[in-house]
Amino acid sequence: MSNKNKPEWAPKNAGKEFATTVVKGKESQHDGVPGNTSTRTRKAPAKRKLSIENYVNGVLAHDRTILAQTITLIESNSEKHFEMGQEVLRQLLPHTGKSLRIGITGVPGAGKSSFIETLGCQLMKEDLHLAVLAVDPSSSLSKGSVLGDKTRMEMLSRHQNCFIRPSPSGGKLGGVTRKTRETTLICEAAGFDVIFIETVGVGQNEITVRSMVDFFLLLKIAGAGDELQGIKKGVIELADAILINKADGDNIKRAEIAKRDFANALHYLKSPTKGWTPETHTCSALTGDGIYPVWEMIKRFEENVRKSGVFEERRNQQNLGWVHDLVSERLLNVFYADPLIKAMLPQLEKNVINGKIPPTQAAWKLLNREL
């Protein structure tokens, strides 16, 4: 090996023990592939820009690639994407409303993803089409997310009848992302029979997902609370069913005790769904024990609420609530985008930090636009 082929950092007297060599580049635009004598530079094909019609027709044709691109369009915070996304959504709206929406929540570590995979594989045997919207937490520091839930659904993700879409929460409270409702409608238009919305591992008061789904399932694990914990207000009182997961091995007895405690607690709480009494079950996402009875319960629930009219009534109320949420969000954005508010805010914040005015007075000054 000659010195001119050695990297700069190699010792002067180095021999052939240095495997690294410097190869002079070629001006012929050779692509670097051994044996390829072509001098053309290979470029990746340009990504096709989709029109509104492309998005709509692709979703209705169950094209998985375009479905994913449509969700990306909807999730975009860009102003130029907003109008196109809303028009796509408007044209897809007549094709929505036919799926069963199931919210699945619980504390971190309750086994939500494992439960979804096990139940989802069971639904595949019934030739149902399933969409899973998995929401992962966003960092409050870096604002990034590790979209890892799909890796826990290895078998389910391979099935042609299943579509799994992980999305970042974006700091949105309630365990869901700001665009979850829109994404749900897109998946309905694509023809999915069942839609699972798996939330971020939530606490007692993070309950936004209830306003998006037909059936709300709360996963618990043995030792997560006693009967008193069960009657506290919050996510438990909004659940249509409580499922004690990880009821396997030495944990079966503890799971049965937890099931009994929560069943007793539910007697003190008003049912969130008219005409339905919330149930408690145990299961093991690991072994599959108790999984199918949960699906049978959900089907009984659907039959019950559709016959009574509660299903349609709830959907209507959810749509109205969505309108008010959007108005509140838009007003907040418009308020902070106001040039006068932008000019006032730094000084008011400084005054609050320095103790010159209380936070309540600062808020009042902002609302009244007075320094």
Gap between the Cα atoms of 54 and 321, Å rounded:
31
Average pLDDT over all residues of the chain: 83
3-state secondary structure of 59: helix
Say if pTM beats, i.e. exceeds, 0.85. no
Average pLDDT for 327-349: 92
* Structural element, H or E, at residue 184: helix 180-189
pLDDT at 235: 82
Which of these, 85, 97, 74, lies nearest to 190 by C-alpha position? 97
pLDDT at position 20: 55
Residues 6+ apart with CB under 8 A from 30: 36, 38, 39
Least confident span in 6-10, 85-89, 211-215: 6-10
Residue with tokens 């409702």, as numbered in its chain: 181
Strand, helix or coil at 218? strand
| Structural domains present in the chain | 96-311 (3.40.50.300), 319-368 (no CATH)
Each residue's pLDDT tens digit, 124-144? 999 999 999 988 654 444 444
245: helix, coil or strand? strand
Q: pLDDT confidence of 221, banded at 50, 70, 90?
A: confident
